[in-house]
Amino acid sequence: MLTEVMTKLEAGDTLDHYRLDAEVARSGMSTLFRATDLGTGRQVALKVPHPEMEADPVLLERFRREEAIGQEIDHPGVVKTFDGEDRSRRYMVIEWVEGRLLRSILNEERKLPVDRAVALTIAICDALDNLHKHGVVHRDLKPENIMVCDGDRIKIIDFGIALKEDARRITQVGLTPALGTPDYISPEQVKGQHGDQRSDVYALGAMLYEMLTGQPPFTGPSPLAVMNERLLTDPAPARELNAEIPPAIEEILFRALARDPRQRYATASDMAWELEHQELVGIESPQHGSVRLGRFALSRRKMVLYAALALVPLALFVVMLVLARR
C-alpha cells in the first residue's frame, strides 16, 4: 500500500528493499537513482516522482502510463519496467542499463561515421517498430533518450510523454516542454497535434541528420524559432554539411523529415528497409511498397524534361527556316 509519507530521498537512503546508491538524473517531474535490490543483489534504476507530481493528476497519469508501457513491451531495444510488489510510496523500478547516452557520444565525437550512424538508426527503427505495433508512440525521441550499450546495442528510454492508442487521452494544453524537444519535435506536434508513429519517424530522421552532420536539422536563437523553422522551410541538404553522405542516405533523410506526415515513411520498418537497401532508394520496386522515386531521381527526370523543353524553340526555328526556303 502507498502511504502519504513523502520524505526527500538521497543517495545512501533505503527505500523498501532497495538501497539508493547514486542519483543519476533529476528532471522537473522525478529523480532517477541507481539502486541495489538488497534481496537479490540486482542493480536497478528507481524513478521517484517529486511530491508535487503526485498532486497533479495529468503528471501522475503520465507516470502510470510510462510504467505500464515498460511492463508491457518486451523488446531488447526498449528499457523494461518491473512490477509485482507492494511499495511504501509511488516509484518505478526499471532495469539498469550499462552504456552511454547517444547525446554523450555526440557531444564527444560531434558526428559519427556513416556506417555507424546508419547501424544505430536501423537498431532504433527495430525497437520503434515494436513499440508502434503495440500502439505506443514515444513522442520525445532524442539522443538523450537513447542509451548505447556494448556493441552499439541500443535501448530506448523515458516514456514520460508517450501516447498509448488504447489509453484514455491526457489533457494537452498549448506547447509545453512536455510535448517534445524543439530540435526533434515533428511539425504536426508543433501545431499542437498529438502525433502518431510518423512523428517518431520524423524525430529519428532528425537524430540521423545530427549523427551524420554534427548538428540538428534546424537551429535558431530560441526554441520557438527552431520549431517555427520546421513549419516553413526544409533543412539544409545533409551532403552540403558532410560530403561523405551517400545520395541515397540524403534521400532517406528527405523522406523522414518531410513536413507533411503523409510524405514520410509510414512505418519505422519502411525506413529501416531503405537504410538496408540503399541501392534501391529512388527506384520503383514491386518488392517493397515504400520504395518510391526519390528527390534526387526526380531531379534527374526534371533535368531531362527541362533539356527537352529547351530544344523546342530550336526545333520550331529549324521548321520555320525549312518552310521559308521552300
pLDDT average, residue stretch 206-230: 93
Q: Is residue 6 part of a domain?
A: no
**Count of structural domains within the chain:** 3
The SS3 call for residue 301 is helix
The answer to whether residue 29 is domain-embedded is yes
CA gap 139, 301 in Å, rounded: 36
74 as an active site residue: the answer is: no
Give tens-digit pLDDT for 226-253.
Answer: 988 999 989 999 999 999 999 999 999 9
Burial class (CB in 10 A: 0-12, 13-18, 19+), 56: middle
Pick from 6-10, 104-108, 143-147, 228-232: least confident: 6-10
For residue 45 the three cell numbers come to 534504476
Residues linked to residue 37 through DSSP beta bridges, in sequence order: 18
pLDDT at site 84: 67
Ranking 113-122, 125-134, 225-234, 262-271 by mean pLDDT, the lowest is: 225-234
Residue 186 lies in a domain: yes
Same-domain check for residues 199 and 110? yes
Binning pLDDT at 50, 70 and 90, where does residue 286 land?
Answer: very low
Task: Please tell me the total number of residues recorded for the chain in this structure.
Answer: 326
Mean predicted lDDT score pLDDT of the chain: 84
Query: Where are the strands (E) in the chain, listed by range?
Result: 14-15, 18-26, 30-37, 43-49, 81-82, 92-95, 100-101, 136-137, 146-148, 154-156, 163-164
Residue 62: per-residue pLDDT: 84
pLDDT at residue 288 tops 50? no
Cα–Cα distance list, 145 to 116, 154, 159, 219 (Å)? 18, 10, 9, 20
Catalytically annotated residue among 13, 21, 140, 152? 140
Whether the predicted pLDDT of 1 surpasses 70: no
- The pLDDT value recorded for residue 325 is 53
Owning domain of residue 303: 299-326
Percent with pLDDT over 70 in the chain: 79
Predicted local confidence at residue 6, as pLDDT:
60
Reported in sequence order, the residue ranges of 126-263 that DSSP labels E, i.e. its strands, are 136-137, 146-148, 154-156, 163-164
Residue 310 has pLDDT above 50, yes or no: no
Query: Which among 67, 95, 123 is the end of a domain?
Result: 95
Domain-ending residue, one of 76, 95, 114:
95
Q: pLDDT for 46-77, tens place per residue? A: 999 888 777 788 888 888 888 999 999 999 99
172 shares a domain with 71: no
156 and 40 within one domain: no
Does residue 148 share a domain with residue 134? yes
Question: Over the stretch 16-48, which tens digit does the pLDDT of each residue have?
Answer: 999 999 999 888 788 999 999 999 999 999 999
CATH number of 28's domain: 3.30.200.20
User: Which residue, of 95, 121, 156, is where some domain finishes?
Assistant: 95
d(CA 96, CA 290): 37
Q: Does residue 283 share a domain with residue 306? A: no
The string of pLDDT tens digits covering residues 125-176 is: 999 999 999 999 999 999 999 999 999 999 999 998 898 876 555 444 333 4
